[in-house]
Chains A and B, each alone.
Chain A
Amino acid sequence: MNWLRNSYLGQAWLILLMAGVFGALLAAVHLKLSPRIEENIRAEIMREIPGLLLGGDAVEGASITSAGELVRIEPASGEPSVLRVIERPSEASALYEVSEGDGTEEDQGRLVGWVARGQDHGYADVIELLVGLTADTSRITGIYVLSQKETPALGDGIVRSDFRRHFVGVPTDSPLTVGRNAAEAAGNPYAVQALTGATVSSRSVCKIVNDTVATVKREVAEESEGLDARP
């Protein structure tokens, strides 16, 4: 019996058993909860799309509800409007084509813009962004941070609106760069002022935006070429 007790199995059977049991437990939790978590993230994306494309002021105080592909915006005053969000296959994590319409089947609506989900490494962990583009993909309409684990009080400043504001309305014909201070960023529409003490996080955000914008531009251009070529 002594050889069994001193073998690896004899020493580690409890840990192996626990690892198995806990693994099964986690798998069950994941199976049970992940649809709900995905739904939460999707609801968040839907909620942010109007603000990203129409501008933060346009949806200020409005109640935004989503059902399926349709996002309903009810401003504090004025007519409610409906956006149709269709997910397109893309090399980016996700690409949404957003058009304005009353939500009926036959109404194709006017194309409002594109929202893409992109991700890359930040300072700490993966940063996930939503990037909004105009219908002709010539300008960025806004960015939103879906998830980040940057350094608290430094890098996590990327979620603040005063940082994200730098990206609004920037033309997409040239990649964005990071300027260290206001003086460097002033006068250059492609320069984003870095967060104090978080240059790496700021650069990561810029890189994700550049990559995502490039992907979306290429894919949208390819698609419209395909449409034009069609007889």
Chain B
Amino acid sequence: MPVREPAPLERFLNGILPENPVYRQLLGLCPTLAVTAAMKPAMTMVAATAFVLICSNLITSLIRHLLKPHLRILVFTLTIATFVTIADRTLAAFAYPMSKLLGPYVPLIIVNCMIISRCEVCASKQGPKAALADAVGVSLGFLLALASVATVREILGNGSWFGIQLVPESFPTLILMILPPGAFLALGSLLGLFTWLGRRRKQRASEPETESA
């Protein structure tokens, strides 16, 4: 019985907000907490993760008919690790200071469960078009999440955004926000905000129906 192939556009849109990897699925929290002290490292991390996600989703989708159920995780990990190493070396070659700053977090993309979950849930079951759209959508969702956390943390903790000073240097800033506890506070608050927004939207959507009923 053939399963209905989901439209690539639907997969793409789903990844951004309705199935946002961080705010909806709570996946990929390690980089969300670890590299969001400022926008620059956060965006580099998003770029590296997106590269790995798109490549491994495509490859997995192309070889999906050859996969054996008990060996599939091995194949996913092999694919992901290869592209992570490529991303890591590329960063060290072309963005050396940023690669030094991110330190162990680029190699740690290998264990980002967001990527392996997309391979498992989507790419190993769907065609390359849907897999590609899914990877791009999820990457954008990841971008949204990291950008929002990093924005809050960099502005509150350092008074700057993307390295551009927004308030005078002498202005007191909440240094705690660029330290690890600040990551948890920022992520927790934003998680609450997104959940609240989602719930309100759902309520709004259901209100007219109840009124007409």
Contacts and interface: CB of A to CB of B under 8 A. Distances in A.
Q: Do A and B come from one complex?
A: yes
A93 interface: no
B104 interface: yes
A162 B92 CA distance: 27
A25 B82 contact: yes
B67 A44 contact: no
Contact of A40 (B34, B82, B86, B96): B96
Interface stretch (B68-76, B126-134, B145-153, B154-162): B68-76
16 contacts: A11-B68, A12-B71, A15-B78, A18-B79, A22-B78, A26-B85, A29-B85, A29-B86, A33-B92, A37-B89, A37-B93, A44-B96, A125-B104, A148-B103, A149-B103, A152-B180
Contacts of A44: 96
Interface of A: 11-12, 14-15, 18-19, 22, 25-26, 29-30, 33-34, 36-37, 40-41, 44, 124-125, 147-149, 152-153, 156
Interface residues of B, number: 24
Interface SS of chain A: helix, strand, loop or mixed?
helix
Contacts of B68: 11, 14
Contact of A37 (B75, B92, B104, B180): B92
Given A26-B82, A36-B93, A153-B180, A14 B104 contact: no
Contact of A18 (B78, B89, B100, B103): B78
Nearest to B103: A149
Contacts of A156: 103
